[in-house]
Amino acid sequence: MLKTFFAFSLCTVFWGSLNAAETAREPINDRYCTTCHGADGRGNEGVQAPRLAGMEPWYLRRQLQNFRADVRGVHPEDREGIAMRPMATKLTDASIDDIIDWVSSWEYVPAEATIDGDPARGRNLYSGCAVCHGGSAEGNESLGAPALAGQNDWYLLTQLKNFMAGYRGAHPDDSYGAQMRTMVNTLRNEAGILNVVSYINTLSR
Ligand code: HEC
Ligand code: HEC
């Protein structure tokens, strides 16, 4: 661990002297994030990797820690989570800090709507969600509930289906995920999921 950190520091110094501007923008050990999450972290539907730009630092940290600790992305049916988990396995606390700085340098651009649903029905369903995620889906740090507005709608659909099926949020150490597993049942079925996400698409932070 110490050795890796030392090697990493040396490498940073060496590489930094070669290419200071680029290293400042992209921590060298973590450059692969954009391979899946898209240029400037805007999300990439082709590999189902969501937008990271604009994500709250506390939420980003918790998800990286959960993937790293095998709390998220472990259920055999959670294909997207399984793709992501190994990306977090080797991150140190220091590189998580680096990533948070790096991600916060990307411009937040709300994702475009790609789904059809019934936003009027979704609005009624969303009233229960607003308690935690906020009336404009802007998120609420004190409750640990992330912003949803502006996130890729295809990603929100997958997450809600995964919470409903118990593919996400079922690990005994995932207390925040457990809250969502309870709440998602108020949507009842896939139609409810589609409608609530189509309403979230109408909101902006
Ligand atoms: C091999 C492709 C791939 C790479 C590389 C990758 N990710 Fe991911 N990431 C994904 C996928 C797919 C998901 C969606 C997981 C899901 O649906 O549960 C994801 C989800 C996430 C999430 C959860 C977002 C949320 O709203 O909860 C975070 C945070 C994240 N990735 C950060 C990173 C960071 C930081 C890196 C670089 C260290 C990285 N990812 C590299 C594919 C990747
Ligand atoms: C009791 C508070 C609470 C309520 C009510 C609630 N949520 Fe959540 N939600 C959370 C928390 C906490 C998380 C973060 C879970 C984690 O850290 O993995 C979350 C996560 C999510 C995510 C995953 C976001 C991401 O980036 O991966 C989605 C989607 C979501 N909620 C949608 C909803 C919807 C839709 C409703 C209404 C049916 C709802 N939530 C109601 C607390 C709540």
Residue-level pLDDT, tens digit, the chain, 205 residues:
434 443 444 333 333 333 333 444 445 455 789 999 998 899 999 999 999 999 999 999 999 999 999 999 999 999 999 999 999 999 999 999 999 999 999 999 999 999 999 999 999 999 999 999 999 999 999 999 999 999 999 999 999 999 999 999 999 999 999 999 999 999 999 999 999 999 999 999 8
Q: What is the pLDDT of residues 156-173, one digit of tens each?
A: 999 999 999 999 999 999
- CA angle, 126 then 150 then 177, to 5°: 60
Count CA atoms within 13 Å of residue 193 on its CB side. Answer: 18
Query: Could you tell which of 31, 34, 37 is best to mutate to test the pocket of ligand 1, judged by most ligand atoms within 8 Å of the CB?
Result: 37
φ and ψ of 147, to 5 deg: -65, 145
- Residue 187: the pLDDT is 98
User: What residue type is assigned to position 20 of the chain?
Assistant: A
In angstroms, rounded to a whole number, what is the distance separating the alpha carbons of residues 96 and 138? 23
* Closest residue CA from atom 42 of ligand 2: 145
Q: 34 to each of 37, 64, 102, 186, how far by Cα in Å? A: 5, 15, 11, 35
Q: Is the CB of 186 under 6 A from ligand 2?
A: yes
8 alpha carbon to ligand 1 midpoint, in Å? 22
Q: Is residue 55 a contact partner of residue 169, using CB atoms and an 8 Å limit?
A: no
